[in-house]
Amino acid sequence: MKKLFIFFICLCFSTNSFSENLKKAYFAGGCFWCMEESFDKVNGVQVTTSGYSGGHVKNPTYKQVIQENTGHLESVEVVYDSNVITYITLVDAYFKSIDPFDSEGQFCDKGYSYRSGILYQDLKQKKIIDRKILEIETKFKRKTFIILKKFNEFYKAENYHQDFYEKNFFRYLAYKKACKREERLNELWNN
């Protein structure tokens, strides 16, 4: 919440050149609460928003998305300052926040809507993602399961999902621990 307040204050007092440096990126990595937390820790990220993207249903609700028939992924919209962080660095941060080898979802959340994916906006972004996937598959000698889709639309999730990890800290912590998210990420990326 503090970051959001600072972001809006900066927008109010900034010059046009600052706002021209704000870009958006879209990532899906299972539970969007966890993705918000991961990206909020990245220097240069201004705001994260939980939502849905990649599907065919307009203005979906959480209940619709978890029914697994909308084609949407639980996603986050990441607003970042391109003077501080590059898209390449965001993609690196994304992969350190997921298990790219899980074909059924992420951690204890299973189903299409919890699959990992990146919604790229142009061919330059897609090439960056393709290079990163090749790098990971070469290093681990395993196939990744990342859905790549051209970005079309992002639908903001219900308000109770926004900043959930901050507003419901203990409930979120219990969820994350039960899913063994940190254990798996450490096993993958810290060896």
| Residue positions annotated with a catalytic role | 31
Parallel, antiparallel, or unpaired: how do β-strands 105-106 and 147-150 relate?
Answer: unpaired
> Phi/psi of residue 139, each to 5°?
-65, -45
Residues 6+ apart with CB under 8 A from 139: none
DSSP type of residue 114: G
- Residue 26's closest CA among 84, 64, 72? 72
User: CA nearest 28: which of 38, 19, 20?
Assistant: 38
The H-assigned helical ranges of 59-159 are 62-65, 87-95, 123-140
Greatest distance between any 2 Cα atoms in the chain: 49
Q: Please give the backbone phi and psi of residue 99, each rounded to the nearest 5 degrees, phi first.
A: -105, 100
